[in-house]
């Protein structure tokens, strides 16, 4: 029994100092980490998450879905065809409109021929009038003959004006018919839904055979051309922040790495504002929304791996003279060196 007590007391002599040493080392490490990650003056931070704007592929007219060429999760490029809608009705209307154009053009040709012919009649009437006028002046013809030639010239001139008006009307009919063709063709073109941005398909909201109402959504895309993080800063820090200020974005899954960014928006209105701001403690509750955007070239570089909703921290320079700490200057690993995605 005495040996057991002795061994127990002897072990405690070693365990207690060891625990104290480990605890002390841990505290020193924590203190060192805190100092290492301490932000210099002139730099502020806030929690946020990676976000991007959403873009909808929308039917302009009420049409049936003919074909969907992408699935959820697919990466799409600007101009890529996403959805094809059935345009059989528009195709029929387009053929009719083209026939109206052809008919109107025939009327223009006929009216133009009539104008040319009538111009010849007017010229002959004018020549006859001039000849008759000279003969009357020489007393070789009567005034009656002169008046008849004058009436013929005036009548043919009036007829020419009428034919020219018909020609103008026919030309306007062609323009109206061609405008109808253009309008219908535009509606047919709009029935092919294309991606306006580089993005990823977030939701597939329709299937082939479904009827979409005018303005109905077929797909929702995440616009990866506009990737940003929103953070909130207290009024004291937001007051000195400028649009265009240098910033950094970090994400939780890649600790110790940061992406360069810029401040593109500082809200002019406070969030979480008390109704009556009278004391300093109340003023400290004022928070301002700040939007930090990653450069497009960086987004394009990591386009295959960017996902919205990932949480992280955004850092901004409140003072231009502030210097980024080394751990915020360490960039993300090159995409070629990253392990393949599962």
CATH number of the domain enclosing 81:
2.40.50.100
CA–CA separation, 303 and 337 (whole Å): 15
The list of the chain residues with pLDDT below 50 reads 1-2, 4, 6, 28-36, 274-279
Q: How far apart are the first and last CA of the chain?
A: 60
Backbone angles phi, psi at 198, to 5 degrees: -80, 120
CB atoms within 10 A of CB 7: 10
CB atoms within 10 A of CB 89: 14
- Domain shared by 107 and 142, yes or no: yes
Q: What is the pLDDT of residue 35?
A: 44
- 66, 54, 88, 58: which is closest to 213 by C-alpha? 58
CA–CA separation, 273 and 49 (whole Å): 23
Residue 20 belongs to some domain of the structure: no
- Domain shared by 82 and 198, yes or no: yes
- 197, 200, 196: which is closest to 72 by C-alpha? 200
CA–CA separation, 248 and 34 (whole Å): 19
Q: What is the pLDDT of residue 118?
A: 85
CB atoms within 10 A of CB 310: 15
Residues facing 234 on adjacent strands: 287
Structural domain of 210: 55-86+192-218
Q: What is the pLDDT of residue 252?
A: 86
For the record, the structure tokens of 300 come out as: 């394009």
Residue 295 belongs to some domain of the structure: no
CA–CA separation, 247 and 294 (whole Å): 9
Q: What is the pLDDT of residues 273-301, one digit of tens each?
A: 544 444 455 555 678 899 999 888 888 88
Q: What is the pLDDT of residue 102?
A: 94
Q: What is the pLDDT of residue 14?
A: 57
Q: Which residue, chain included where needed, has tokens 């600007």? A: 78
- Domain shared by 80 and 168, yes or no: no
Q: What is the pLDDT of residue 23?
A: 58
- 326, 339, 336: which is closest to 253 by C-alpha? 339
Residue 98 belongs to some domain of the structure: yes
Average pLDDT value for the chain? 83
Residues facing 269 on adjacent strands: none
Residue 25 belongs to some domain of the structure: no
Q: pTM for the whole thing?
A: 0.68
- Domain shared by 201 and 112, yes or no: no
CB atoms within 10 A of CB 66: 15
- Domain shared by 178 and 155, yes or no: yes
CA–CA separation, 128 and 126 (whole Å): 5
CA–CA separation, 50 and 314 (whole Å): 10
- Domain shared by 96 and 211, yes or no: no
Reduced to 3 states, what is the DSSP secondary structure of residue 185? helix
CA–CA separation, 342 and 333 (whole Å): 18
CA–CA separation, 312 and 230 (whole Å): 10
């Amino acid at each position: 029994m005495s040996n057991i007590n002795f061994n127990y007391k002897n072990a405690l002599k070693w365990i207690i100092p060891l625990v104290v040493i480990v605890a002390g080392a841990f505290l020193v490490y924590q203190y060192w980490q805190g100092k290492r990650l301490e932000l210099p003056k002139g730099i502020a931070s806030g929690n946020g998450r990676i976000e991007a704007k959403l873009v909808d592929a929308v039917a302009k007219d009420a049409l049936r879905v003919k074909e969907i060429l992408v699935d959820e999760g697919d990466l799409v490029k600007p101009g890529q065809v996403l959805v094809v809608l059935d345009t059989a009705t528009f195709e029929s209307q387009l053929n009719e409109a083209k026939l109206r154009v052809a008919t109107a053009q025939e009327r223009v040709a006929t009216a133009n021929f009539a104008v040319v012919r009538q111009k010849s009649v007017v010229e002959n009437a004018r020549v006859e009038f001039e000849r008759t006028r000279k003969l009357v002046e020489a007393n070789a013809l009567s005034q009656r003959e002169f008046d008849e030639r004058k009436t013929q010239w005036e009548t043919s001139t009036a007829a020419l004006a009428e034919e020219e008006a018909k020609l103008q009307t026919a030309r306007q009919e062609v323009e109206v018919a061609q405008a109808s063709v253009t309008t219908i063709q535009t509606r047919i073109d709009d029935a092919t839904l294309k991606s306006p941005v580089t993005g990823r398909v977030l939701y597939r909201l329709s299937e082939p055979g479904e009827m979409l109402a005018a303005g109905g959504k077929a797909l929702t895309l995440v616009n990866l051309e506009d990737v940003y993080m929103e953070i909130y800063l207290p009024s004291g820090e937001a007051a000195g922040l400028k649009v265009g200020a240098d910033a950094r974005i970090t994400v939780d899954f890649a600790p110790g790495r940061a992406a360069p960014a810029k401040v593109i928006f500082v809200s002019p209105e406070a969030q979480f504002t008390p109704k009556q701001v009278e004391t300093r403690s109340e003023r400290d509750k004022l928070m301002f929304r700040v939007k930090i955007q990653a450069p497009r070239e960086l987004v394009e570089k990591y386009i295959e791996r960017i996902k919205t909703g990932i949480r992280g921290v955004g850092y901004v320079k409140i003072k231009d003279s502030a210097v980024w700490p080394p751990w915020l200057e360490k960039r993300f690993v090159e995409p070629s060196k990253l392990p393949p995605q599962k």
